[in-house]
Amino acid sequence: MHQRLAPPQKGADMTDAIRAAELLKEHRKSIDRLDAILVYSLGERFKHTQAVGKLKAKHDLPPSDPAREAAQIARLEDLAKQADLDTAFAKKFLNFIIAEVIQHHQQHQSQP
Provide the whole-model pTM. Answer: 0.72
Does the domain at 10-110 match CATH 1.20.59.10? Answer given as yes
Q: What single DSSP character describes residue 35?
A: H
pLDDT at 5: 56
pLDDT at 110: 80
Q: Are 73 and 95 in contact (CB under 8 A)?
A: yes
pLDDT at 35: 96
Q: Using CA atoms, how far apart are residues 12 and 58, in angstroms rounded to an integer?
A: 69
Mean pLDDT by 10 residues, the chain (112 residues): 57 84 96 97 94 92 92 93 95 91 84 70
Q: Using CA atoms, how far apart are residues 15 and 12, in angstroms rounded to an integer?
A: 5
> In the chain, helix, strand, coil percent, each to 5?
80, 0, 20
pLDDT at 81: 96
pLDDT at 1: 53
